[in-house]
Chains A and B, each alone.
Chain A
Amino acid sequence: MGEGATDPDSGGSADMAVMTYGEAIRDGLRTAMREDERVYLFGEDVAEYGGVYGVTKGLVDEFGKRRVKNTPLSELAIIGEATGAAIAGLRPIAEIQFSDFITSGFSSLVDYAAPYFFRMGTHVPMVIRAPFGGGLRIGPFHSKCPEAWFFHVPGIKIVTPSTPYDAKGLLQAAIDDDDPVIYFEHKKLYYELKDEVPAERYTVPIGKAAVRRGGRHVTVVTYGAMVHLAMKAAEELAAEGIEIEVVDLRTLVPLDEETMLSSFRKTNRVIILHEAPRRGGVGAELESIIVEKAFDHLAAPPVRIAAKMMPVPFSPQLEDFYLPSKQDVIDAARRLVQY
């Protein structure tokens, strides 16, 4: 498991620091807690241990156990505390150790918190950090991407940052937001990605996608770690003259349909790429939106690339088979440009 990460390396430019994705999250937590007394965080092993991937390491030293709190092993109770504290006027950030365990607290989130504002007119400004994603060889209970379950529940916002910059900015935006937000951080990116991140407070708007790479031939709509898969595929495809435009959704709810659609109207071909399994995944909704709202621009059938319909295998070979691959994207793009 993850060891504690070092403090952000301030080898960047004046107001920027180079940080890993995980460090950017920590920095976001730190910045938010310094600024607003109402913000506090809690979950299993988040205090001295610093979280199983070290994301919260050191925060308890600065803010104390009142604001960085270890909890008993109960997702129901954790999510319940977040709900109640938010209703009572604080800005709680609850951590679910692995998003796979959110099912143990599902009812608290979906039945109590999600409909509260609609029914009672009282906002529930809580953030649930839920590390998701696989590729780490840790099997079916620590690798899931369960965002589709919550995508289907009215009253919950969902963000999926894919870069260190977005990780910090979207976290602050989630904290500022008055509604329940599930913040799906991708655990594989914690140490893999490094980038310059502003030292001060800033936000990345919830509900706004980003075009990571422009291209004329195929639109790739994606989020999370798959953004980087798409970018690698884009490099290879560019060498053979095929330009793919990579749209990183960054937020799943509320969905930025327009960025996706306007890219598609330009290229007329689309690949929807996500790490979660195919059936009923978020990609099914994206594909429907494209066909419903941009039918006249379809040059070719939309393509969905997603994980296979099976639990996440533990063995490396099987997990690689399970996950979408760069070659999947390249093959699909080559096929699509025939149209």
Chain B
Amino acid sequence: MSLQPAPNSDPSGPEGPSLILPREKLLDIYYYLLLTRTVENKVAYICQSQNPQQPLIIGKGYLSTGQEAISVGAAMTLEEKDWLAPSHRDMGAHLVRGITLRQVFSQYFCRITSPTRGRDGNVHFGDTSKRILSFVSHMASWLPVANGVAAAMQYRGEKNVVLTFFGDGASSQGVVHESLNYAAVFKLPVVFVINNNQFAISTPLHEQSAVENLALRAVGYGIPGKTIDGNQVLEVYASVKQAVDRARRGEGPSLIECKTLRMSGHGTHDPATYIPKDLLQAWKKKDPIVSFRTYLEDKNLIAKSEESHIQERIQREVEEAVEWARAQPTPTPEDLPTWL
């Protein structure tokens, strides 16, 4: 258990032997990374260009641009019966765990076909049938609930785990402390991933916390904590896999801090001029998708034709979902007796 990792670790695995993944899995990872980026680009595009009088997307878009490796890499470690408790920048994890594009755009368009029947918008959703707890606006409010799901697994003697995410801003909430402590005491099978993208709306990390590496707090709970490069998807995968395996063995929770930078505004409405330009430039060079593609190409793990094939497929799928969702009905008061 290392508390002071180097900033740019070897993507093939930070500890011990390198992580070997089958090529299909690597291509899956690539697919989900690119899918997440494409979906969010589409959301941003619609938000910017739609008619405000007759908007298609209700409200703003909340993007994970530049942070896709964190949720994709982590979610790819899960098995079928594991649960996900996402935050608001975990579109990648949603997609990996089976949320369809039609559901995503229905949710953004507030149509009755969304996971919340149009009653909630943008990323405020989950899907019990896919073992995904809903994100709720109160930061980290899902952590104790993730604990509850893990407690149920423990209660039933199941060997499943819960993967949950929260941000640097959320980490200041008391509920985080209470949840980490609670999970540690009961050795709940939860993996806590901090997406430290260094900004909570406009609040930079050093105004959020007196400690730069948030995973340091793990010591206080007696659980393993690790800070890694969140833009290296395989590093994320390897570290989270380790924690997931630990939890599945019944050894309890872990805290993994993924360092990254938020490459978008807080929402599509936010120009984020408070992010220093040089910081943006530095992290732009570390784009997780570009770096993973480069890695795959260098290791001859992907052919150019496969790349274009994946790209076309993603374009097609996204277009289809947008068109489909656009045609779906909006909820009316008559729908209200359902789920009330």
Contacts and interface: CB of A to CB of B under 8 A. Distances in A.
Direct contact of A and B (CB under 8 A): yes
Interface of A: 40, 66, 71-72, 74, 76-77, 79-90, 92, 107-108, 111-112, 115-122
The 9 closest A-B pairs by CB, nearest first: A80-B144, A84-B148, A88-B152, A77-B182, A74-B178, A84-B145, A81-B148, A84-B149, A122-B128
Contacts, number: 117
A145 to B, nearest CB: 26
Nearest to B184: A72
Given A84-B149, A88-B149, 12 more contacts: A72-B182, A72-B185, A76-B175, A80-B145, A85-B148, A88-B83, A89-B152, A108-B145, A112-B136, A118-B339, A119-B119, A121-B128
A120 B116 contact: yes
A75 to B, nearest CB: 8
B125 A120 contact: yes
Contacts of B147: 77, 80-81, 84
A87 B116 contact: no
Interface of B: 83, 115-117, 119-120, 124-128, 133-134, 136-138, 141-153, 155-156, 174-175, 178-179, 181-182, 185, 338-340
A111 B141 contact: yes
Contact of B144 (A40, A76, A92): A76
Nearest to A86: B148
A77 B173 CA distance: 13
B148 A87 contact: yes
Contacts of A120: 115-116, 125-128, 134, 339
Given A88-B153, A90-B152, A120-B115, A74 B145 contact: no
B340 A85 contact: no
A83 to B, nearest CB: 5
B115 A85 contact: no
Nearest to B117: A121
Contacts of B136: 111-112, 115
A77 B178 contact: yes
A264 B133 CA distance: 46
B116 A85 contact: no
A83 B148 contact: yes
Nearest to A74: B178
Contacts of A112: 136, 138, 141-142, 145
Contacts of A87: 128, 133, 145, 148-149
A107 B141 CA distance: 8
B97 to A, nearest CB: 15
A255 B266 CA distance: 43
B146 to A, nearest CB: 6
B144 A84 contact: yes
A71 B175 CA distance: 15
B152 A76 contact: no
A80 B141 CA distance: 8
A121 B339 contact: yes
A107 B175 CA distance: 10
Contacts of A108: 141, 144-145, 175
A203 to B, nearest CB: 23
A119 B144 CA distance: 19
B152 A119 contact: no
B175 A119 contact: no
Query: Most chain-A Cβ atoms within 10 A of its Cβ — which of B117, B144, B151, B174?
Result: B144
A77 B179 contact: yes
A89 B128 CA distance: 11
Query: Most chain-A Cβ atoms within 10 A of its Cβ — which of B120, B146, B152?
Result: B152
Contacts of B179: 76-77, 80
Contact of A119 (B116, B142, B178): B116
A51 B146 CA distance: 26
Nearest to A113: B145
Contacts of B185: 71-72
Contacts of A72: 178, 181-182, 185
Nearest to B338: A121
A317 to B, nearest CB: 38
A108 B141 CA distance: 6
A82 B152 CA distance: 9
A66 B339 CA distance: 32
6 contacts: A81-B145, A81-B151, A84-B145, A87-B145, A107-B141, A119-B339
A111 B145 CA distance: 12
A122 B117 CA distance: 12
A115 B138 CA distance: 13
A116 B178 contact: no
A85 B144 contact: no
